[in-house]
Amino acid sequence: MRIWFLYPAEIFNYRKNMTIFFKEQNGKFFQGYFDLLGTSIHDVDESALIEFAKLAQRRKSKIVIAGNGGSAAMASHVAVDFTKAAGIRAINFNEADLITCFANDYGYENWIAKAIEAYGDPGDLVILISSSGRSPNIINAARYAKQYGFALVTLSGFDSDNPLRKSGDINLWVDSKSYNIVEMTHHIWLLSVVDYIIAEANK
């Protein structure tokens, strides 16, 4: 399958490549799009997801999940599902007062690391999400998590050599440069881990 959405971050190139993709689908945009998404979702090592689930289950404390933009919204959803459905306490850092306070005092590139410092406990699992794998606040949070002994799962996309992909105990990577494909794949993978934990607990 031809790889699509090979665009840099600029929205102009994103729209340009989306237009090219649309034209080459010969009137079947959604079929092509969903095929691409399906390929992306299935392109994962299942053993890594199982290890992720085991890591989440054996934590002595809680799960801390963070991201930017759409990844932050995803963190909110997944944190609730880990807590309510899987019975594993999970938090995220999406409160406006927290973000603006920590970003103002420590710099936007450091606020997530500082939030982990403030709210993290020994034994926590940290999950960090970045489509590009290059967001400075996520990279600095990963460094902090590893320096202070937190278990770390990362989710990234875009370039295969992005720095976040090298940071975690488990690193899940999406082979795409489309924000939406990467984010939706991350979301499905995360929720599949939640459902795996539920299924394991009730088998």
| pLDDT tens, N- to C-terminus, the chain (203 residues) | 344 444 444 455 667 777 777 788 788 888 888 988 999 999 999 999 999 999 999 867 899 999 999 999 999 999 999 999 999 999 999 999 999 999 999 999 999 999 999 999 999 999 999 999 999 999 999 999 999 999 999 999 999 999 999 999 999 999 988 889 999 999 999 999 999 999 998 88
CATH of segment(s) 45-201:
3.40.50.10490
This prediction has a pTM of 0.90
Reduced 3-state DSSP string for the chain:
CCCCCCCCCCHHHHHHHHHHHHHHCCCCHHHHHHHHHHHHHHCCCHHHHHHHHHHHHCCCCCEEEECCCHHHHHHHHHHHHHHHCCCCCEEECCCHHHHHHHHHHHCHHHHHHHHHHHHCCCCCEEEEEECCCCCHHHHHHHHHHHHCCCEEEEEECCCCCCHHHHCCCEEEECCCCCHHHHHHHHHHHHHHHHHHHHHHHCC
The domain segmentation of the chain, as residue ranges, is: 11-40, 45-201
